[in-house]
Chain A
Amino acid sequence: SAVISQKPSRDICQRGTSLTIQCQVDSQVTMMFWYRQQPGQSLTLIATANQGSEATYESGFVIDKFPISRPNLTFSTLTVSNMSPEDSSIYLCSVEGGTGYEQYFGPGTRLTVT
């Protein structure tokens, strides 16, 4: 399975600021995914990021709010912009496994917006 790390592991941010979350994988992967897990809730896909192309956003998520970069096959960033308390969540990146059917998750970034 892929080894995925995320930075920061947690942060407390002020309303109106932005935070960039990094996701690093120990092997080259085509697809990377960003999910949000709101407190006590399930996971919801924010966007899918392919290297060298624009991220594809799910309904309810927009690029201005959640810009994503995917500069190479092992790294991606998600920025949460102009934060409000409603953005307090765990943000997780995930990648496809070797077979293409497994999906592995990073440890998550726990964000609290005050």
Chain B
Amino acid sequence: GEDVEQSLFLSVREGDSSVINCTYTDSSSTYLYWYKQEPGAGLQLLTYIFSNMDMKQDQRLTVLLNKKDKHLSLRIADTQTGDSAIYFCAETHFGSGNTGKLIFGQGTTLQVKP
């Protein structure tokens, strides 16, 4: 079945890089996503990557995808206290019988220490 796993907690110092990891089981995944949820708020789409890509960079964010190992990571450069939040990895596949349903990981709480 479909499953997405993340480590639950990561603590870094302000200015360091953060790397949040995610593994998934569905080999037919076509799009993989990273969402950010701040306390009391909804989900903010940070970035997404198509499964035929290895890497995507967007300002301080770098997404790496290892399709063979079904491993996705999100690197945040120069982490700031405003980056403290829960980060969710999600995957979906588009095709017969699927309408874009997202399967989410449990979320990784990122704590940034000043």
**Size of interface on B: residues with Cβ below 8 Å to A:** 22
Q: Is A64 an interface residue (CB 8 A)?
A: no
Is A102 a contact of B45 with CB atoms below 8 Å?
yes
**Residues 35-55 of chain B, each 1 if its beta carbon lies under 8 Å from chain A, else 0:** 100001111110010100000
Within 8 A of A (CB), among B36-94: 40-45, 48, 50, 88, 92, 94
Is A92 a contact of B43 with CB atoms below 8 Å?
yes
Q: In the complex, what residue of chain B is closest to A90 when comparing beta carbons? A: B42
Is A92 a contact of B42 with CB atoms below 8 Å?
yes
Q: Is B29 an interface residue (CB 8 A)?
A: no
- B45 surroundings in chain A (CB, below 8 A): 1, 102-105
**Size of interface on A: residues with Cβ below 8 Å to B:** 25
- A102 surroundings in chain B (CB, below 8 A): 45, 48
CB distance from B30 to the nearest CB of A (A): 8
Q: Is the interface of A mostly helix, strand, loop or mixed?
A: strand
Known: A1-B45, A43-B88, A108-B42. A103 touches B100 (CB 8 A): yes
Q: Is B10 an interface residue (CB 8 A)?
A: no
- A13 surroundings in chain B (CB, below 8 A): none
Can you add 5 more A-B contacts, CB < 8 Å, to A33-B100, A42-B88, A43-B102? A31-B100, A33-B101, A42-B107, A102-B48, A105-B44
Closest 6 CB pairs of A and B: A107-B42, A105-B43, A42-B104, A43-B104, A108-B42, A105-B42
Report 26 cross-chain contacts, Cβ distance below 8 Å, ordered by A residue: A1-B45, A31-B99, A31-B100, A33-B100, A33-B102, A35-B102, A42-B105, A42-B107, A43-B43, A44-B104, A48-B99, A48-B101, A58-B101, A92-B43, A96-B100, A100-B94, A100-B100, A101-B31, A101-B48, A101-B94, A104-B45, A105-B35, A105-B44, A107-B41, A108-B41, A108-B42
